[in-house]
Structure 1
Amino acid sequence: MYQTKNELSESIRERNIELLNARLVDCIDLQSQIKQAHWNVKGPNFIALHRLFDEIYEAVGEYVDTIAERAVQLGGIAQGTVRVAATRSTLREYPLLASGETSHVEAVSSVLAAFGQLARKAIDEATEDGDADTADLFTGVSRGIDMWLWFVEAHLQ
């Protein structure tokens, strides 16, 4: 770990760097899955979903950056290469052969919901550790993921 004048204890910072890196790889995987849907969606609502998935991709990219930067702020190293994400992500694999809009909407809503659950768990873990800023970061991410999930699920109703 790098030296920092951050007043959180080294043990708290270490645990939260580990937490942040775990969610970072999931978030990178989430972003790539959203782009997979963006590229391959087909159907009568193609343009609406194509654009929606691109908006989600951009927003998730900001979550990736925020999570990675927090790990570094705490004195850690952000571990977010594609290879690291591929080996450590806890998200389910995206159905690569999906093409119809319903199958993509189902897959995207499922992965958003799964990541949202992980973000809420991270809020609890950071709160228990006394790292209010990391908890707040994940609260913002969770709120954003829930909004995108709502937008996507609206296409199923």
Structure 2
Amino acid sequence: MRERYASGIDDATAEKMIDLLNANLANVIDLTLDGKQCHWNLQGSGFIGVHQLLDDTAERIREVSDAIAERIVILGGMPNGLARRVAKDSVLDDYPTNITEVDDHVREITNRYKKVAVKLREAIDAAGDAGDEDTADLFTEASRIVDKDAWFIGANAPKK
């Protein structure tokens, strides 16, 4: 383990949080890539608004991944965002490559945001239970961002 910069956190807790943070790092990196896949391939009514929105949401989710990676370093760990690890450890299935319609992409990417949000909320509880409130706060902020972007994207879906 690297030097730890977080005070008052024992080694066992730091290692547990590093694992939890790396698991969520894989999810948010995958979500970013899925958002770009969606961005590049959608077509149809409402295209330009969703296309531009996905650039904005990708930037916000990249900021989340940076915050998670930085917290890992603060705790003495090594962030692992390598493509192979992300592919292996993300909770998200492969993004479908056979859809083009805006409505289909909006539904697909919104569901992916929701799935990542569930994992972030689980991580809030796990970090709080472990006594690492700073990591719990980081996950809380990440959850707020992901929820808000799920809403922004999902609001483009046709009403049922």
Pair in the same fold by TM > 0.5 = yes
Cα distance in structure 1, aligned partners of 2:3 and 2:127: 20
2:132 paired residue number = 131
1:8 CA drift (Å): 0.3
Amino acid at match of 1:2: R
1:58 paired residue number = 59
Q: Which runs of 5+ in 1 are unaligned?
A: none
1:43 paired residue number = 44
1:26 paired residue number = 27
Amino acid at match of 1:120: R
Give the secondary-structure state (helix, strand or coil) at the position aligned to 1:13.
helix
Question: Mean Cα displacement is larger for which, 122-131 or 2-11?
Answer: 2-11
1:79 CA drift (Å): 0.7
Cα distance in structure 2, aligned partners of 1:123 and 1:16: 11
2:2 paired residue number = 2
User: What value does the CA root-mean-square deviation take over the aligned residues?
Assistant: 0.9
1:94 CA drift (Å): 1.0
1:78 paired residue number = 79
Cα distance in structure 1, aligned partners of 2:4 and 2:55: 37
Cα distance in structure 2, aligned partners of 1:145 and 1:58: 12
Cα distance in structure 2, aligned partners of 1:4 and 1:103: 45
Give the secondary-structure state (helix, strand or coil) at the position aligned to 2:99.
coil
1:26 CA drift (Å): 0.8
Cα distance in structure 2, aligned partners of 1:33 and 1:81: 15
1:7 CA drift (Å): 1.9
1:103 paired residue number = 104
Q: 2:4·2:73 contact (CA, 8 Å) conserved in 1?
A: no
Give the secondary-structure state (helix, strand or coil) at the position aligned to 2:106.
helix
Amino acid at match of 2:3: Q
1:32-69, Cα deviation, whole Å (9 max, x unpaired): 00000110110121100100111111111001111111
Q: Percent identity?
A: 39
Amino acid at match of 2:92: L
Cα distance in structure 2, aligned partners of 1:59 and 1:33: 14
Cα distance in structure 1, aligned partners of 2:91 and 2:106: 20
